[in-house]
């Protein structure tokens, strides 16, 4: 798990102020930026487990709160607004604590979607998707698949997905590793397993 008292960095974006919980390490191999789910926050178990796995490997971590959550809202704006804010956050961090270090983007659910859509624009070297929401559940008619978003990155992608996730199981593909774990969309069980998978993938990515 990451330290309890990170440095809190406030950044202006076109969508309002964002907040980043920065866990720095000495001479980082890379930085991992993680975004939260649509109505959640940066203290979700899988986000903290992934952050801990990165820190154990000398990778700095930024846990990012989107402007709508900083403003106290639970419902996110449309994807273009999320992406616009995320790109401004990355640019601000590049000008500050992370500099020109290799960058891995990631997040859970909605945050994973943002990471996929912005990977190319930010020059990310990899994308970590926790509980990627492939298809909205409980629809009487076929729901549109979000697989095209998952296919946007041209760098290695890791998807960690609950075996009972109502949003479905994304398919593996060249450059995209999908690891099923016990649990549903919350990814609360098997935190040890999640840490091992994420840590091993980061080691391979940055070797």
pLDDT confidence bin for 144, thresholds 50/70/90: confident
State the average pLDDT over residues 5-26: 96
State the pLDDT confidence band at 136, using cuts at 50, 70 and 90. Answer: confident
In the chain the domains, ranked by start, together with CATH numbers, are: 7-205 (3.40.50.1820)
How many angstroms separate the Cα of 136 from the Cα of each of 34, 106, 143, 165? Answer: 22, 20, 6, 11
The pLDDT, as a whole number, for residue 5 is 80
Q: Work out the average pLDDT over 74-93.
A: 97
Neighbours of 197 (CB within 10 A): 20
Q: How confident is the model at residue 140, as a pLDDT?
A: 58
pLDDT band at 176 (very low <50, low <70, confident <90, very high): very high
Global confidence as pTM: 0.95
pLDDT digits (tens, 9 = 90+) for 25-72: 999 999 999 999 999 999 999 999 999 999 999 999 999 999 999 999
């Amino acid at each position: 798990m990451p330290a309890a008292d990170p440095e809190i960095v406030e950044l202006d974006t076109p969508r309002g102020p964002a907040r980043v919980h920065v866990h720095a390490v000495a001479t980082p191999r890379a930085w991992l930026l993680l975004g939260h789910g649509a109505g959640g926050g940066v203290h979700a178990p899988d986000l903290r487990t992934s952050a801990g796995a990165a820190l154990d490997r000398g990778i700095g971590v930024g846990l990012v709160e989107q402007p709508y959550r900083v403003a106290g809202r639970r419902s996110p704006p449309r994807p273009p607004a999320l992406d616009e804010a995320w790109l401004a956050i990355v640019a601000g961090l590049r000008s500050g604590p992370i500099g020109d270090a290799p960058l891995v983007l990631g997040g859970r659910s909605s945050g994973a979607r943002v990471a996929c859509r912005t990977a190319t624009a930010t020059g990310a070297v990899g994308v970590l998707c926790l509980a990627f929401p492939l298809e909205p559940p409980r629809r009487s008619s076929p729901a549109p698949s979000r697989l095209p978003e998952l296919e946007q990155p041209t760098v290695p992608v890791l998807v960690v997905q609950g075996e009972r996730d109502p949003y479905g199981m994304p398919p593996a593909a060249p450059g995209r590793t999908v690891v099923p774990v016990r649990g549903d969309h919350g990814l609360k069980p098997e935190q040890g397993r999640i840490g091992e998978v994420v840590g091993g993938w980061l080691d391979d990515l940055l070797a």
